[in-house]
Amino acid sequence: MKSIILFLCVSFMGIFIFSCQEIYEIDAIEGNWKVTSMKDVAEFEEGPSFLINLKTMKIAGFSGCNRFFGTVKLDKKNKLTFENMGGTRKMCGNFKVENMFITLISEVEAFKFNKSKLQFLSESGDVLMTMKVTEVE
């Protein structure tokens, strides 16, 4: 009888601990992020940056030339997508970084943390972009 009770207590503690970790990861994506790499490109003159607000389920930021905005769709299994994306249409000299960012953010299907950095992943699990926490500019 004691072993059954001990087993149940340990099981519930394990479930509680893993549930809290999952909630922490979801909550941790809220904030200001600066893109440090996209696919194989890791050097930007002025890289994209954005704010994820989980209270309003919105994303907004700078895509390399223009401002962008959209909605965040998120579930407890680290699945993440961005919908209803829009942005300004300012003319800039080099659209390479911005075009890559806009293309890749539409392909995001999940996220993960890797050594205090946030990574957006494709449906197949490939890393699309990596970000670090940044201060509001």
Place of tokens 């990574």: 119
Render pLDDT for 108-131 as a digit per residue (tens, 0 to 9). Answer: 999 998 777 999 999 999 999 999
- Cα–Cα nearest to 48, from 115, 116, 118: 118
pLDDT for residue 21 is more than 70: no
**Residues listed for the chain:** 137
Contacts of 106 (CB under 8 A, 6+ apart): 82, 85
Compute the C-alpha angle 95/30/41, nearest 5°.
Answer: 30
For the whole model, what pTM was predicted?
Answer: 0.78
- Residue 131 to residue 38: CA distance in whole angstroms: 9
Question: Which domain range does residue 78 map to?
Answer: 2-133
| Tokens found for residue 13 | 């503690």
Render pLDDT for 49-70 as a digit per residue (tens, 0 to 9). Answer: 999 999 999 999 999 899 999 9
Contacts of 29 (CB under 8 A, 6+ apart): 52, 54, 74, 80, 111, 118
**The total number of structural domains that make up the chain:** 1
Answer yes or no: are the C-beta atoms of 107 and 122 closer than 8 Å. Answer: yes
- Res 54: pLDDT: 94
pLDDT for residue 11 is more than 60: no
Write the CATH number for 21: 2.40.128.270
- Residue 74 to residue 26: CA distance in whole angstroms: 8
